Amino acid sequence: MNEHSRFETKQPEWPTEGGIRWIPYWTFTNQELYEAEKRKLFNGPTWNFLCLEVELQVPGDFVAVHVGETPVIVTRDRDGGLYAFENRCAHRGSLLALEDRGNVKDFTCVYHAWTHNLQGDLVGIAFKDGIGGKGGIAKDFCMSDQGPRKLRVAVLSGLVFGSFDEDIDELEDYLGPEIVARIGRVLNGRKPVVLGRFTQILPNNWKLYVENTKDSYHASILHTFFTTFELNRLSQRGGIIVNENGGSHVSYSAVDHQADDGKKDVYSEQNIRSQSDLKLSDMSLLGSFKEFDDDITLQILSVFPNFVLQQIQNALAVRTILPRGTDSMHLKWTYFGFEDDTPEQRKARLKQCNLVGPGGYVSMEDGCIGGFVQRGTVGSPNERAVLAMGGYAIDSSDDRITEAAIRGFWREYRVRMGV
């Protein structure tokens, strides 16, 4: 045995002991795994968020989005139905839609003018019969054999999801009743209005951001704006819900006035940065209005693999997590309110949106923390993260000092990926 053999690269493998408690760092850098994620997750039997239904109001409306790295067009056809298909010409693969949104009668490729209808079917070929009896498409060519891949589409509470797998479980079954109910809680039959769209480029593997959204433990520690102004102490009433498969979750907290007294010192005892003497000069930032029947002021909901629905007081948004290589991702934010907002309510939402997004008081740290992990672990692919907060179970619980929802994500991930 060569004395250097102990430095040879080990074949990456998941630690077998202890269930879902160790996450090897090669998970965030391995190119083969990344390619497998494209096949098994984003092109496989998962539901991916596409857009808000309200973005497709009338026939001909379309939005151009992504499922994983795959460009996808979502449309409303003249039959009133919603359709989704790859943004890829049947002919030679060019993008069909070159705008983010709009209203069209069909999609004609700019390259050779092959035409696709609003459901993605190839319906026209330029110079199909040639000119003057010369040229034209091959005699045996069949337009219906050729076309961009279609997605199955499902709508839940005004959220449009799509899957490349025709045989996937129904969306409601995929999510489970508790997640479905918590989505309904936020949308509540109301008609959303888009208030703004932003894309954040994060310097980390997409799964590090997924972990972050499911990490109820970090919220009031990393994001000191909340603790400083006593918006979201862990001593507040709250909890998490993890769905049966593990990969979708809800974390929530509610105002608990009775619990406020006597718990002021919890954070200082834990050596957590918290400046209780800091005061906002303009408290209108936090001016919220009663929007829901319960006392829940914060609800972060995720759907496997890459969707987040956020309620932070009255700041509502959907986020889509899009992989862009092993060490980069795009995070698409769509802020929304509702059609029946009063001007005062709308203004409150716009002010509270200062809390969220790429520059948000309680979210800007999430823009850099994944990069810190990516950089911290790049030289240690065979070392591993530990998820031991709240024990090792993957259960719903009535506290948030737990990593159960992160373990849940990895359980579903490993089952679907076969790793």
Partner 1 sequence: MKIAGERQQLTMLISMVQARYAREIDDGDCTLWPDFFVDDCFYKVTTADNYAQNLEAGLMWMDSKNMLRDRILSLLEANVYERHSYRHIIGQPYISDVEGDELDSETSFIVARITREGPTDLFATGRYVDRYRVTDVDAKLIKRIVVLDSGHIDTLLGFPL
Q: Which stretch binds partner 1 (CB under 8 A): 85-93, 136-144, 181-189, 277-285?
A: 277-285
Q: Which amino acid is at 199?
A: T
Query: At closest approach, how far in Å is the CB of 372 from partner 1?
Result: 8
Residue nearer to partner 1 on the CB measure, 250 or 312? 312
Return all residues near 288 (Cβ < 8 A) that are at least 6 apart. Answer: 297, 313, 314, 348, 352
Residue nearer to partner 1 on the CB measure, 341 or 403? 341
User: Of the candidates 24, 44, 158, 367, which one interacts with partner 1 according to CB under 8 A?
Assistant: 367
Total residues belonging to the chain: 419
Residue nearer to partner 1 on the CB measure, 255 or 286? 286
Crossing angle of helices 206-213 and 364-377, in 10° steps, is 130
Query: At closest approach, how far in Å is the CB of 25 from partner 1?
Result: 19
CA atoms within a 13 Å half-sphere pointing along the CA-CB vector of 111: 11
- The C-alpha atoms of residue 264 and residue 235 are separated, in whole angstroms, by 9
Q: Does 368 help bind partner 1 (rule: CB under 8 A)?
A: yes
Contacts to partner 1 from residues 115-134, by CB under 8 A: none
Contacts to partner 1 from residues 179-198, by CB under 8 A: 194-198
Strand boundaries in 262-314, DSSP class E: 296-303, 307-312
Query: At closest approach, how far in Å is the CB of 165 from partner 1?
Result: 30
Residue nearer to partner 1 on the CB measure, 272 or 417? 272
User: Of the candidates 71, 371, 381, 391, which one interacts with partner 1 according to CB under 8 A?
Assistant: 371
* Cβ neighbours of 293 (radius 10 Å): 8
Report CA Rg, the chain. 24
Residue 396 Cα distances to 163, 302, 338, angstroms: 27, 14, 30
Q: Does 346 help bind partner 1 (rule: CB under 8 A)?
A: yes
User: Of the candidates 104, 364, 393, 401, which one interacts with partner 1 according to CB under 8 A?
Assistant: 364
Q: Does 225 help bind partner 1 (rule: CB under 8 A)?
A: yes
Q: Which tokens sit at 146? A: 């050729």
User: Of the candidates 113, 181, 278, 415, which one interacts with partner 1 according to CB under 8 A?
Assistant: 278
- The C-alpha atoms of residue 393 and residue 19 are separated, in whole angstroms, by 9
Q: Does 202 help bind partner 1 (rule: CB under 8 A)?
A: yes
Crossing angle of helices 404-417 and 206-213, in 10° steps, is 140
Query: At closest approach, how far in Å is the CB of 279 from partner 1?
Result: 9
User: Of the candidates 87, 115, 163, 224, which one interacts with partner 1 according to CB under 8 A?
Assistant: 224
Q: Does 284 help bind partner 1 (rule: CB under 8 A)?
A: yes
Q: Does 36 help bind partner 1 (rule: CB under 8 A)?
A: no
Query: At closest approach, how far in Å is the CB of 133 from partner 1?
Result: 48
Query: At closest approach, how far in Å is the CB of 100 from partner 1?
Result: 7
Q: Which tokens sit at 231? A: 């918006």
Of 374, 373, 316, 382, nearest in space to 15 by CA: 382
User: Of the candidates 361, 409, 410, 413, which one interacts with partner 1 according to CB under 8 A?
Assistant: 361
Q: Quick check: 387 and 403 in contact, CB under 8 A? A: yes
Size of the site for partner 1 (CB under 8 A): 42
Residue nearer to partner 1 on the CB measure, 130 or 325? 325
Q: Which tokens sit at 95? A: 């993008």
Contacts to partner 1 from residues 79-108, by CB under 8 A: 100
Q: Which tokens sit at 197? A: 């769209």
Strands 115-116 and 107-108: antiparallel
Q: Which amino acid is at 244?
A: E
- The C-alpha atoms of residue 414 and residue 199 are separated, in whole angstroms, by 28
Q: How far apart are the first and last CA of the chain?
A: 30
Query: At closest approach, how far in Å is the CB of 271 from partner 1?
Result: 15
Q: Quick check: 355 and 60 in contact, CB under 8 A? A: no
User: Of the candidates 71, 203, 381, 391, which one interacts with partner 1 according to CB under 8 A?
Assistant: 203
Q: Does 350 help bind partner 1 (rule: CB under 8 A)?
A: yes
Q: Does 287 help bind partner 1 (rule: CB under 8 A)?
A: no
Q: Which stretch binds partner 1 (CB under 8 A): 6-14, 150-158, 238-246, 346-354?
A: 346-354
Positions that interact with partner 1 (CB under 8 A): 100, 194-203, 222-225, 228, 275, 278, 280-282, 284-285, 330, 335, 346, 349-351, 353-354, 357-359, 361, 364-365, 367-368, 371-372, 375
